[in-house]
Amino acid sequence: MKAIAKANARGFSLVELLLALLIGCSLSGLLLQAVLAELTSGQRFARVLRERAVARRTLELVRGDLLQARGLADPAALAPACNLAGRSVVLHLDTASGPITYSLGKPAEPIWRGQVLMRCGPAYGLHGELGSGAAQNRVVLDALAASAGFRAQPAGAGVLQLELAQAWADGGRLSSRLPVAIGAN
């Protein structure tokens, strides 16, 4: 009787074990691909959120300068306080502390991505007021789009439309806008 019971109690064959292993590895590979795709998507989303916050802070900095300015200035009449090094002036302001110039172009150092927006003007003090010291030339934002990285255009009576456009090497893009009332102070 024991011999008959042993003959009926078969195990898995080698082919069945290899087939089960192949199916298990395939499912594990698919799950791993899905997890990696989700991780990549999450990293892109986090980068876009981070870049959007930086772009918003940049527009707020320009807005703050505009609110403290006496008005827009002509770079030919009121010279920028810093060397522009071939960058083009996109916004030039006349303030009580001296001129503030925003320029767009190639960065001075290779650490920056693409075109940069630079601010040349007096530094801000501890309480948010413009200082009276020497003008500083600083990169405000990098990775700006080649065609229209930063623009400040009139958008109606007493309103200036600020626009930023960023583009990254992987094809990602971000655009931000902020209307600012000028001449209200």
Instruction: For residue range 101-115, list pLDDT tens digits in order.
Output: 999 999 888 899 889
- Residue 163 domain-assigned? yes
- Residue 16 domain-assigned? no
- Residue 90 domain-assigned? yes
- Residue 93 domain-assigned? yes
- Residue 8 domain-assigned? no
- Residue 28 domain-assigned? no
- Residue 26 domain-assigned? no
Q: Taking 80 as the threshold, does the pLDDT of residue 74 lie above it?
A: yes
By C-alpha distance, which of 121, 140, 141 is closest to 132? Answer: 121
Question: What confidence tens digit (pLDDT) does each residue in 120-143 have?
Answer: 999 888 887 787 778 888 999 988
Domain count, the chain: 1
Per-residue confidence band for 177, with pLDDT thresholds at 50, 70 and 90: confident
The residue segments making up the domain with residue 177 are: 40-181
Contact 90, 65 (CB under 8 A): no
Which one-letter DSSP state was computed for residue 44?
A: H
- Residue 66 domain-assigned? yes
Against a cut of 0.85, is the pTM above it? no
In whole angstroms, give the CA distance from residue 118 to residue 141: 7
